[in-house]
Amino acid sequence: MRADETYGHVATGRPPIITLQGHILEQQSRHPEATGTLSWILSAISISAKMIAAQVRRARLIDVLGSAGEENVQGEQQQKLDVISNEILLRTLGGREGVAIVASEENEEPVLLRDEREGPRRYCVLFDPLDGSSNLDVCGGVGTIFSILRHDRRSDRAEDSLLQPGSQQVAAGYVLYGPSTVCTLTIGLGVDLFVLDPSIGAFVRVEQGLKIPTHSKSYSVNEGNRLQFPQGYQDYLGWAQQNGYSSRYAGAMVADVHRILLKGGVFMYPPTAKAPKGKLRLMYEANPMAMLVEQAGGKALAAPGQRILDVRPEGIHQRVPVVLGSPAEVDHVMDHVAAGAAAA
Ligand code: AHM
Ligand code: MG
């Protein structure tokens, strides 16, 4: 037990109070070779999250709901808060020396911030600034998802440096703006959970080494698309319904994955006739969530036997089918999908 932990336990019999900032510094001190660059980037994300949370909380009052009147690179309407959140992240991360490239779901091209081939180790930060933003108008949960990769200095083009499989992520996480603002983070050593205490303006650690339940009779999918799914997914849903499963779907990946991490079950966005690779983006949504779920002991697959984290990206905005959650529940889905494909 470390000295600070001992102090907390001895003084009060309860664990010490650690903020996200303190947690990051604590992790950094365990890696003597660390320069603090990654810590500095995570602190920029935490500041962005507090700023976005403040906007989300007052959204109806400050007239930032609804469409900004433009389409993003995916051809979808941008909400005003999408644009605001994107700008907050670009501005906070842009000021951090350690960030070489930022890429956002909302921007067609990644932004190359610093080009030096030599110098300190730098990172690329990818994010979906406000995932599930169509939930905003009805006061539903929305979130920010982020992924951090090492900058590959051998690449000339910013996009090439970003096209690394998810297994190369150095850190990943999301912030859920719900009744509480919750930050879930992994830097490859398990998953830790923080809750924003608005009265002190800090994220406070509430759980370390989060573990996903190994199984739970719950699935999360847009069932309105059911008849468009490949046969195996349809068969799985029939099987689950015959076996007493519950259906839970918030329509915002951050909210759905958060529930799965805490309560177990399976979240999926399968291929559909309209979107043969599914709807979710590999780099901004699937990879960071897959890293979190695997770090919590779960599984995250794009197809039977195909880890999302092993998918080789070809474009920064590419989409991928997603099935993630409790290991036993992901297996149930993929067993049906494999059988459906074999029968076709
Ligand atoms: P967004 O990034 O444009 O908000 O879209 C992603 C969202 C996810 O949060 C969610 O899982 C999914 O879209 C819901 O899609 P659908 O409405 O098709 O069920
Ligand atoms: Mg999204």
pLDDT confidence band for 224 (50 / 70 / 90): very high
From CA 308, how far away is CA 180, in angstroms rounded? 29
Task: Let me know if residue 3 belongs to a domain.
Answer: no
Query: Is pLDDT at 158 greater than 60 in this prediction?
Result: yes
Query: Is pLDDT at 1 greater than 50 in this prediction?
Result: no
- If asked whether residues 288 and 311 sit together in one domain, one would say yes
- Look up residue 73 and give its DSSP letter: T
- If asked whether residues 171 and 111 sit together in one domain, one would say yes
Q: How far is the CA of 72 from the centre of ligand 2 (A)?
A: 12
- If asked whether residues 124 and 225 sit together in one domain, one would say no
Average pLDDT score over residue span 65-76: 70
Out of 52-61, 171-180, 184-193, least confident range: 52-61
Task: Let me know if residue 157 belongs to a domain.
Answer: yes
Helix/strand/coil for 170? coil
Query: Is pLDDT at 67 greater than 80 in this prediction?
Result: no
* Sheet strand arrangement including 299-303: 246-247, 218-220, 266-269, 322-325, 299-303, 306-307
Task: Let me know if residue 1 belongs to a domain.
Answer: no
Task: Let me know if residue 213 belongs to a domain.
Answer: no
- Of 154, 175, 207, which residue constitutes the final position of a domain? 207
Q: How far is the CA of 269 from the centre of ligand 1 (A)?
A: 9
Residue whose tokens read 């994107």: 86
- Positive or negative torsion for Cα 127, 130, 135, 140: positive
Q: Please state, as a whole number, how many other Cβ atoms lie within 10 Å of the Cβ of residue 236.
A: 27
Which ligand places an atom closest to the C-alpha of 128?
2
- If asked whether residues 22 and 103 sit together in one domain, one would say yes
- If asked whether residues 48 and 91 sit together in one domain, one would say yes
Q: What is the CA radius of gyration of the chain?
A: 20
- If asked whether residues 314 and 173 sit together in one domain, one would say no
pLDDT confidence band for 289 (50 / 70 / 90): very high
Q: What is the mean pLDDT of the chain?
A: 91
Q: How far is the CA of 100 from the centre of ligand 1 (A)?
A: 28
Facing residues of 303 across strands? 306
Query: Is pLDDT at 9 greater than 70 in this prediction?
Result: no
Query: Is pLDDT at 3 greater than 60 in this prediction?
Result: no
| Closest protein CA for atom 4 of ligand 1 | 132
Task: Let me know if residue 6 belongs to a domain.
Answer: no
- Of 172, 187, 207, which residue constitutes the final position of a domain? 207
Task: Let me know if residue 232 belongs to a domain.
Answer: yes
Facing residues of 267 across strands? 220, 324
- If asked whether residues 263 and 176 sit together in one domain, one would say no
Range of the domain at 246: 218-343
From CA 278, how far away is CA 98, in angstroms rounded? 33
Q: What is the CATH number of the domain that holds 44?
A: 3.30.540.10
- If asked whether residues 39 and 79 sit together in one domain, one would say yes
Higher confidence at residue 28 or residue 249?
A: 249
pLDDT > 70 fraction of the chain, expressed in percent and rounded: 90
pLDDT digits (tens, 9 = 90+) for 235-272: 999 999 999 999 999 999 999 999 999 999 999 999 99
Contact call for residues 102 and 90 (beta carbons, < 8 A):
yes
pLDDT of residue 338: 97
From CA 277, how far away is CA 82, in angstroms rounded? 24
**Ligand 1 environment, Cβ below 6 A:** 76, 128, 131-133, 222, 251-253, 269, 279
- If asked whether residues 253 and 110 sit together in one domain, one would say no
- If asked whether residues 171 and 50 sit together in one domain, one would say yes
- Of 181, 207, 233, which residue constitutes the final position of a domain? 207
Q: State how far the alpha carbon of 255 is from the alpha carbons of 251, 260, 262, in Å.
A: 8, 9, 11
Q: How far is the CA of 77 from the centre of ligand 1 (A)?
A: 12
Q: Please state, as a whole number, how many other Cβ atoms lie within 10 Å of the Cβ of residue 281.
A: 24
- If asked whether residues 53 and 182 sit together in one domain, one would say yes
- Positive or negative torsion for Cα 156, 158, 159, 165: positive
Q: What is the CATH number of the domain that holds 318?
A: 3.40.190.80
Task: Let me know if residue 185 belongs to a domain.
Answer: yes
Task: Let me know if residue 41 belongs to a domain.
Answer: yes
- If asked whether residues 195 and 230 sit together in one domain, one would say no
Number of domain units in the chain: 2
pLDDT confidence band for 120 (50 / 70 / 90): low
